[in-house]
A and B are shown apart, each in its own frame.
Chain A
Amino acid sequence: EPEVTQTPSHQVTQMGQEVILRCVPISNHLYFYWYRQILGQKVEFLVSFYNNEISEKSEIFDDQFSVERPDGSNFTLKIRSTKLEDSAMYFCASSVDRFEETQYFGPGTRLLVL
């Protein structure tokens, strides 16, 4: 069964450093998403991406964040200058289209900012 994959599974970085989290969505899906989950808290929507541009973003997704689909398979989330509060689990998801009901989530990348 097709699945969303994410790399790396864990990333440790120093505050102020840039990180890039990578995702490979399911191949025939057109909508891509990033969510985050701070330890012990809710899963929070960050951004959705369609047709090579941001479709929707939450208040959390500020100028420190950016997303890109650099090629036909990868979908990336870049945090330009990490802060301690960026430590969280980051989940990528994809769906066939915006109005397809099901979003398929990857296993997540655990980011720790020191």
Chain B
Amino acid sequence: DAKTTQPNSMESNEEEPVHLPCNHSTISGTDYIHWYRQLPSQGPEYVIHGLTSNVNNRMASLAIAEDRKSSTLILHRATLRDAAVYYCILREAYSGGGADGLTFGKGTHLIIQP
């Protein structure tokens, strides 16, 4: 899986939007961009994924740059429960011979202030 770069930590205030960036300059055409998060003392949890177009779900939005070399996870209104480590992970699609396991980096530690 191609490498991603994320800030070590970010801080935001409750009820405000949060934009978590991820750089993946070596992304290939068959790589999907996935986001997982890990709340304190819990297992990782899927957040969202996309290939080229921006994506929305009940948890978040994913904005993907036109050249796909970067993406941003957007939490529209952060709550204290969103305090977690957020991981940006590239996964090669089946057609590209994708691996089974997810490759986690250090992620971004999101701190939410009340």
Contacts and interface: CB of A to CB of B under 8 A. Distances in A.
B43 A108 contact: yes
Interface in A57-114: 58, 91, 93, 98-99, 101-108
B43 A45 contact: no
Report the interface size class on chain B: 20 to 34
A12 interface: no
Interface in B21-71: 32, 34, 38, 42-46, 49
A45 B102 contact: yes
B102 A103 contact: yes
A48 B103 CA distance: 13
Nearest to B101: A45
B44 A48 contact: no
Contact of B34 (A98, A99, A101): A101
Interface residues of A, number: 25
- Chain A, interface SS category: strand
A93 B100 CA distance: 11
A55 interface: yes
Contacts of B98: 99
A42 B89 CA distance: 13
B76 interface: no
Nearest to B91: A101
B46 A103 contact: yes
A18 interface: no
A100 to B, nearest CB: 10
A18 B67 CA distance: 50
Interface in B77-106: 87, 91, 93-94, 98-106
